[in-house]
Structure 1
């Protein structure tokens, strides 16, 4: 009988070669039921609320747009917090590595689709970004038995650019009194979005390269 069968706790641990005297050290595997994963699920649950707030009156109501911006910021902040907590407390799980980027895609993808439908964002930008995100998600599942492709610094930069760009689109500048400042913010949001699109393509190519390398190594 295995040690895992003799000791139930042993089945919930993984080996780490950390003992300087030569022996392996048993470290508990983090449970999927933890705060970072809960924040990730919260971000997913906020997506329908955000979409509804943006669609009220064709996104033409200042109050609802401001509420939508608030929800968007809360969701974006949870993305930052869950990663910090997971790393600082050793709560990184395979579930979190997969669910976290999916939550990001749902959040940002819904905003892209809505603003493309409203005519504010070109459809080719939305199709390119979402096509890349869907392809990378499928790629993660394709190689999951060989290992998990964690988010890269480039991927995180891409997400950050998308958050700032779409946050600029959500803020109702055009609904306030027309002014040069509002026009400048609209241009900045558009530039950030096109920059995010370029980074999205570049990081997508990098993910494909890493996935193929992982598959060959497995």
Structure 2
């Protein structure tokens, strides 16, 4: 197994560790970080760090695979799967914690399923649906929003700016727009005689 695929598998393996840190109440966690009225439980900070480490490997594995001519079918399957598992797992955890509404997760996950389905149709047609700039922006904004929610809107909470809510709304809007963009640019795949 090559290095890019190992990085992708590591990202998948970090998902249960992140969820364990976030959702299981361990006795050894120290009291939360407190600055005035602001509180940040250590489990959320640890989960945010794990999430950032896992999310940062997303571009790394693809870059290494392309640069070193190590692109494999396993990598083509695992890389987008790892991304979707990571984001879905953390968003579902945030719903359980009451930090995000379930409809937000449904919108984001539905878009991922729809674009994945479009990519499958493209493969059957012998073509590839490449990642768009809107899709890349969507990923960045989702990561920023998730981290802001995990760290309880630090440091914006001190400025009275609901950055975490603004970021999650931006993530939803760009997720919807990028999904529409993929379908508009690839409508020919849906109208072909093979579908």
TM range (shorter): 0.7 to 0.9
* Unmatched 5+ stretches in structure 1: 1-32, 175-179
* 3-state DSSP of counterpart to 1:82: helix
- Equivalent in 17, 22, 25 of residue 54 of structure 1: 22
Please say which of residues 196-205 and 138-147 is displaced more in the overlay.
138-147
TM-score by length of structure 1 reads 0.71
- Equivalent in 152, 160, 185 of residue 140 of structure 2: 160
Q: Relative contact order, CA 8 A, sep 6+: which one is greater?
A: 2
Pairwise CA distance, 1:71: 0.9
Structure 2 match to 1:45: 13
Matched, 1:209 2:187: no
* Unmatched 5+ stretches in structure 2: 33-40
**Cα distance between partner residues in 1 of 2:42 and 2:114:** 36
Structure 1 match to 2:38: none
TM-score by length of structure 2 reads 0.79
Q: Over aligned residues, Cα RMSD in angstroms?
A: 2.7
The answer (yes or no) to whether the contact 1:97–1:150 under 8 Å persists in 2 is: no
Matched, 1:127 2:96: no
- Equivalent in 64, 67, 73 of residue 46 of structure 2: 67
* 3-state DSSP of counterpart to 1:90: coil
**Cα distance between partner residues in 2 of 1:91 and 1:189:** 38
Larger radius of gyration: 1
* 3-state DSSP of counterpart to 2:188: helix
Pairwise CA distance, 1:214: 4.0
The verdict on how the C-alpha distance between 1:186 and 1:127 changes in structure 2, with shifts beyond 3 A counting, is farther
The verdict on how the C-alpha distance between 1:172 and 1:98 changes in structure 2, with shifts beyond 3 A counting, is same
The verdict on how the C-alpha distance between 1:105 and 1:198 changes in structure 2, with shifts beyond 3 A counting, is same
Pairwise CA distance, 1:43: 0.9
**Cα distance between partner residues in 2 of 1:190 and 1:130:** 18
Structure 2 match to 1:113: 92
**Cα distance between partner residues in 1 of 2:181 and 2:156:** 37
The answer (yes or no) to whether the contact 2:153–2:162 under 8 Å persists in 1 is: no
**Cα distance between partner residues in 2 of 1:67 and 1:98:** 28
